[in-house]
Amino acid sequence: MGIETVGIVGTGQMGLGIAQLLAQQGIRTVAIKMTGGDVSGKYATVDKSLQKLVDREKLTAEQKEHILEALTITTDLHELRDCDLVIESIVEEMDRKQQLFHELEQITSETCLLASNTSTLGITELASAVQHRERLVGLHFFNPATVMKLVEIIPTLHTPNDTVERLHKWVEAIGKTPVVVKDETGFIVNRLLTPYMVDAIRAYERGLADAAAIDTAMKLGCNHPMGPLELADYIGLDIVYHMATNLYETFKEPRLAPPPLLRTLVIAEQLGRKSGLGFYDYSTRPATPRKL
Ligand code: 3HC
């Protein structure tokens, strides 16, 4: 059976990015804004992102209209009833995700696959909240979802092989490259990337170099598109904090624990690019490195 209609729950940076990506692939996509209220701002975000592609002559105005027609953004979870796959991308809290999957199991048909885009939470633990655990897998996209080529597929001990094969083919069909990884905190990318960002924050705390120097060093020394502090700001410092905490709680290695400065920034609600302040100040163009 094909995957023709896909639901995305959560319209933050990742959820909306995945929704846009799927609509760009011609897939009927229903995105749910879980915080209620007006959805026009979400449509405007997608419109603006597509318009950039039109301006760069990567899309025609007609293609842009088709993409927008393929995408529905709503606050009503029941709109997911005809989906073949629903991908959850809400706040990184186990209880809220489990509650959501429990509701999704009631709303969707038994053949609909349920997936989580969690950064580090356990897929098996999420699946323990549903009756048919074989329906729930991890499908982990990367930010910005429209551009990044990788999707991690995380089966659990309950997942049938044919579901993994089906998702593998589907991920390729939407123009991405899948890797299959066991259900362990951080999967592959965040398991390796989080300690790297956390080490960079510690190096900054110790005064090894300023933020711009650390980022420039890794960009030019390793050919990375962004330096680690810039990337942490881009992902969101609250998310980096959660990832480091989850990794530390799982593996108990002191090096994985979130550094004090990261904690302070999160408490101060200086979460990186999305809140305008992080390791950089985004009120200027280009952003200005801060002295913290
Ligand atoms: N659809 C298709 N293509 C698009 C697009 C869209 N909606 N939007 C942009 N693109 C294309 C652009 O046309 C451009 O292609 P071109 O080079 O052929 O013209 C390309 O994507 C890059 O776009 P931009 O020019 O706007 O951006 P930059 O070249 O400045 O790159 C970046 C920006 C892609 C963010 C780059 O800096 C980068 O790769 N940074 C690292 C990002 C990263 O590591 N992400 C992973 C984070 S970890 C994560 O997400 C896990 C989670 O659990 C926390």
* pLDDT tens sequence across 57-88: 999 999 999 999 999 999 999 999 999 999 99
Q: Is 152 a catalytic residue?
A: yes
143 CB within 6 A, ligand 1: yes
pLDDT at 278 over 80: yes
Residue 172: band (very low, low, confident or very high) from pLDDT cuts 50, 70, 90: very high
Where in the chain is CATH 1.10.1040.50? 189-289
Atom of ligand 1 nearest to the CA of 56: 13
Considering the candidates 140, 143, 230, 242, report the single residue annotated as catalytic. Answer: 140
Residue whose structure tokens are 């624990």: 257
pLDDT at 3 over 70: yes
Q: Is 119 a catalytic residue?
A: yes
Atom of ligand 1 nearest to the CA of 143: 50
* pLDDT tens sequence across 195-229: 999 999 999 999 999 999 999 999 999 999 999 99
Q: Could you say which architecture CATH assigns to the domain 189-289?
A: Orthogonal Bundle (1.10)
Q: What is the distance in A from the centroid of ligand 1 to the CA of 105?
A: 33
Q: What is the distance in A from the centroid of ligand 1 to the CA of 142?
A: 10
Say what angle helices 61-70 and 40-55 make with each other, to 10 degrees: 150
Tell me, what's the pLDDT at 2? 86
Q: What is the distance in A from the centroid of ligand 1 to the CA of 213?
A: 22
Q: Which helix (H) or strand (E) holds 29?
A: strand 28-32
Task: Give ∠ CA 278-282-283 in degrees, rounded to 5.
Answer: 130
Backbone angles phi, psi at 53, to 5 degrees: -70, -35
> C-alpha distances in angstroms, 109 versus 50, 132, 170?
32, 11, 19
Q: How far apart are the first and last CA of the chain?
A: 54
Q: Could you say which architecture CATH assigns to the domain 5-180?
A: 3-Layer(aba) Sandwich (3.40)
Q: Is 78 a catalytic residue?
A: no
Q: What is the distance in A from the centroid of ligand 1 to the CA of 252?
A: 33
Tell me, what's the pLDDT at 1? 66
pLDDT at 191 over 80: yes
Percent of the chain exceeding pLDDT 90 equals 99
Tell me, what's the pLDDT at 177? 98
pLDDT at 41 over 80: yes
Atom of ligand 1 nearest to the CA of 236: 54
Tell me, what's the pLDDT at 216? 98
Q: pTM of the entire structure?
A: 0.96
Tell me, what's the pLDDT at 140? 98
188 CB within 6 A, ligand 1: no
Return the best residue to mutate from 147, 148, 177, 218 for the ligand 1 pocket (most ligand atoms within 8 A of CB).
Answer: 147
Average pLDDT of every residue of the chain = 97
* pLDDT tens sequence across 239-266: 999 999 999 999 999 999 999 999 999 9
Q: What sections of the chain are H helices per DSSP?
A: 13-24, 40-55, 61-70, 94-107, 123-127, 161-173, 189-205, 211-222, 228-235, 237-251, 260-267
* pLDDT tens sequence across 24-38: 999 999 999 999 999
* pLDDT tens sequence across 103-144: 999 999 999 999 999 999 999 999 999 999 999 999 999 999
* Rg of the chain in Å (alpha carbons): 19
Mean pLDDT for the stretch of residues 40-56: 98
Q: Is 190 a catalytic residue?
A: yes
Where in the chain is CATH 3.40.50.720? 5-180
- For ligand 1, atom 39, the nearest C-alpha belongs to 225
